[in-house]
Amino acid sequence: MIMDNLQSIQEKALKQIEEAGALDALNEVRVAILGKKGELTNVLKGMKDVAAEERPKIGALVNEARDQIEKALEEAKEKMEAAALNDRLKRETIDVTLPAKKNPMGHRHPNTIALEELERIFIGMGYEVVEGPEVEKDYYNFEALNIPEGHPAKDEQDTFYISGDILLRTQTSGTQVHEMEKGRLPIKMISPGRVFRADEVDATHSPSFHQVEGLVVDKNISFSDLKGTLVEFARKLFGEDTKVKFRPHHFPFTEPSAEMDVSCFKCKGKGCRFCKGEGWIEILGCGMVHPHVLEMSGIDPKEYTGFAFGVGLERIALLKYEIDDMRLLYENDIRFLNQF
């Protein structure tokens, strides 16, 4: 009786194990047969009713049945785990022949492209590129450039003050003073950077824009050095057939001073919408460094002379890429920026 029961439990268990499709189904079988209240456990509990001489034999049979069921459970489990692993490996295969995903790449801003071209030109002429502070002392921005308190040029460049004598620089010209104060001569430098003015935004103005300052100080530097250098610069930047014109002007820190125009590269000087019918386009301010400016920075104007210039970077970018509104440079609309 007990042996028949044992036999049917074992057969049922093995069949259920074979049919189990997943690990939790196997576990259910284990609990139903071998668990605390499992069928085989019940058989063992019934041993007390078995005649004493029969017990060892029955006990051995129960143990054997349990061993077989456990073995079957273990094998089924291993098989399932192996199949699951295989499945995963198959799913995770990498097809190395698939084309790679492309990450969208940005590119340089038109201002940066123009700056790098400008730097290349001056580095090619032996200039060093230096940087100056955007937050500046009144002394460097005005005073040391011959613009004392109450000078009308200070009014023209109204700006943002941090405190009484600390401000956001209105021009990169202060870098000239920093460079001269280092006391290393000769000087041949350009200094690009951001400047600030309390200007309303329109097509040609912005409260923050960029300039590139230039300064050469050495013995026997003359106005013809200035002209030769800037003519070369204009030709490299706008094309070899570019004509250049110097108009007398006034800057407090240079004497004499001039503004430089280039022949319109669009109409070659005939006059067009681009140059407003003039045939010429103004691109920079320049001049011979004022002796008093040299002196204030500790350079003897009897021994040394120099020339300086200041270029508006946005103006160069707008001209080179024929952009008619400066605001486009700052809006960061990628439909616009992607064109350069």
Residues touching ligand DAH: how many (CB under 6 A)? 11
Q: How far apart are CA 253 and CA 146, in angstroms?
A: 5
Q: Is 306 in the site for ligand DAH (CB under 6 A)?
A: no
Q: Is 287 in the site for ligand DAH (CB under 6 A)?
A: yes
CB-nearer residue toward ligand DAH: 70 or 232: 232
CB-nearer residue toward ligand DAH: 38 or 193: 193
Q: Is 238 in the site for ligand DAH (CB under 6 A)?
A: no
Q: Is 285 in the site for ligand DAH (CB under 6 A)?
A: yes
Output the smallest distance, CB 315 to ligand DAH, in A: 11
Nearest C-alpha neighbor of 44 from the set 28, 30, 53, 33: 33
Q: Among 16, 171, 242, 263, indicate the residue that binds ligand DAH (CB under 6 A).
A: 171
Centroid of chain to Cα 109: 11
Q: Is 251 in the site for ligand DAH (CB under 6 A)?
A: yes
Stretch that binds ligand DAH, among 62-70, 122-130, 271-279, 308-316 (CB under 6 A): 308-316
**DSSP label at residue 170:** S
Output the smallest distance, CB 254 to ligand DAH, in A: 4
**Are 72 and 17 in contact, with CB atoms under 8 Å apart?**
yes
Q: Is 226 in the site for ligand DAH (CB under 6 A)?
A: no
N-terminal to C-terminal alpha carbon distance within the chain: 94
3-state DSSP of 125-153: CCCEECCCCCEEEHHHHCHHHCCCCCCHH
Stretch that binds ligand DAH, among 33-41, 269-277, 280-288, 314-322 (CB under 6 A): 280-288
Is the previous residue joined to 256 through a cis bond, with omega within 30 degrees of 0? yes
Output the smallest distance, CB 157 to ligand DAH, in A: 7
Buried b / exposed e along 26-46 (16+ C-beta atoms within 10 A): beebbebbbeeebbbeebeee
Q: Is 313 in the site for ligand DAH (CB under 6 A)?
A: no
Q: Is 193 in the site for ligand DAH (CB under 6 A)?
A: no
Q: How far apart are CA 306 and CA 291, in angstroms?
A: 9
Output the smallest distance, CB 286 to ligand DAH, in A: 5
Output the smallest distance, CB 215 to ligand DAH, in A: 7
Q: Is 196 in the site for ligand DAH (CB under 6 A)?
A: no
Q: How far apart are CA 188 and CA 308, in angstroms?
A: 10
Q: Is 168 in the site for ligand DAH (CB under 6 A)?
A: no
Buried b / exposed e along 225-245 (16+ C-beta atoms within 10 A): bbbebbbebbbbbbeeebbbe
Q: Among 309, 313, 323, 326, indicate the residue that binds ligand DAH (CB under 6 A).
A: 309
Q: Among 173, 206, 229, 263, indicate the residue that binds ligand DAH (CB under 6 A).
A: 173
Stretch that binds ligand DAH, among 20-28, 66-74, 85-93, 283-291 (CB under 6 A): 283-291
The DSSP line for 218-229 is ETT--HHHHHHH
CB-nearer residue toward ligand DAH: 271 or 301: 301
Q: φ, ψ for residue 308 (rounded to 5)?
A: -140, 160
CB-nearer residue toward ligand DAH: 228 or 239: 228
- Burial (CB count within 10 angstroms: exposed 0-12, middle 13-18, buried 19+), residue 49: exposed
Question: What residues line the site for ligand DAH (CB under 6 A)?
Answer: 171, 173, 213, 251, 254, 285-287, 308-310
